[in-house]
Amino acid sequence: MRPPTEFPKNAHVVMIGTGTGVAPFRSMIKQHAGEYKHLFFGCRNKNKDFYFGEEFSQMVGRNELTFYPAFSRDRIGRKVNYVQELLIKEDTLFNRMVYDSLPLYIYVCGRLVICQRMYGTT
């Protein structure tokens, strides 16, 4: 992954990371303060796999990031949460970004099989 060295001052940046695939995004978020950043993160268990969770929560508190976590093995009732479901749920956000006049960057990082499932390829 080769992120740009600098984003335009006003740009939407969407990062989709699963498991340890979130690590490169941590650096991107720290290096590019001021942009509209959205991080969709997925892992199995909040208590075991929530990499950088506290740090991301602090970034949210400082308005540096909008954060969407999904924990596939931590069920809410009978529902399982996956990153793909969060992306569908936030369709209004994506529509707004696509039709906005600002540039939009989308990055996906994680296991290949996860990315293939997200995009319906094999």
Could you give the percent of the chain with pLDDT greater than 90? 7
pLDDT in tens, 57-97: 998 898 888 999 988 877 666 666 888 888 888 889 988 98
Task: Please classify residue 36 by burial: count the beta carbons closer than 10 Å to its beta carbon, then call 0-12 exposed, 13-18 middle and 19+ buried.
Answer: middle
20-34 as b/e, with b when 16 or more CB fall inside 10 Å? ebbebbbebbeebee
40 confidence band (pLDDT: 50, 70, 90): very high
Report residue 41 as tokens.
């993160």
Complete domains list, the chain, with CATH: 12-119 (3.40.50.80)
48, 24 contact by CB (below 8 A):
no
> Can you tell me the mean pLDDT for 5-24?
81
